[in-house]
Amino acid sequence: MAEKRRADDAEPITAQETKKAKSDGNTQDEPHWATPISSFQDFEMIKILNDHPKNKSVFVHGKFKGHEEEAVVILEKTPFSEETLPIALSGETKLKVGLKNDIYGNYHGTPPPQVNGIKVSVVYPATPKHLVKYSQQESYLVQETEDDYKNITLPFLEKEAFRIQWVYNILEHKTESERIVYEDPDKETGFILLPDMKWDLKQVNDLYLIAIIHKHGILSLRDLTAEHLPLLHNILKKGQQAIQEKFDIPPCKLRIYLHYQPSYYHLHVHFTHLNFDAPGSGVERAHLLTDVIEHLEMMTDYYTKKTLSFCLRENDQLLAEFRKAGRVPEKSV
Question: CA torsion sign, 282 to 286 to 289 to 293?
Answer: positive
What does the alpha-carbon distance between residue 274 and residue 257 come to, in Å, rounded to a whole number?
Answer: 12
What does the alpha-carbon distance between residue 208 and residue 281 come to, in Å, rounded to a whole number?
Answer: 12
268 given a catalytic annotation: yes
3-state SS, one letter per residue, for the chain: CCCCCCHHHCCCCCHHHHCCCEECCEECCCCHHHCCCCCCCCEEEEEEEEEECCCCEEEEEEEECCCCCEEEEEEEECCCCCCCHHHHCCCCCEEEEEEEECCEEEEEEECCHHHCCEEEEEECCCCHHHHHHHCCCCEEEEEECHHHHHHHHHHHHHHCCCCCHHHHHHHCCCCCHHHCCEEECCCCCCEEEEECCCCCCCCHHHCEEEEEECCCCCCCHHHCCHHHHHHHHHHHHHHHHHHHHHHCCCHHHEEEEEECCCCCCCCEEEEEECCCCCCCCCCCCEEEHHHHHHHHHHCCCHHHHCCEEEEEECCCHHHHHHHHCCCCCCCCC
Catalytic residue from among 61, 228, 259, 268: 268
What does the alpha-carbon distance between residue 83 and residue 203 come to, in Å, rounded to a whole number?
Answer: 11
**Residues annotated as part of the active site:** 268
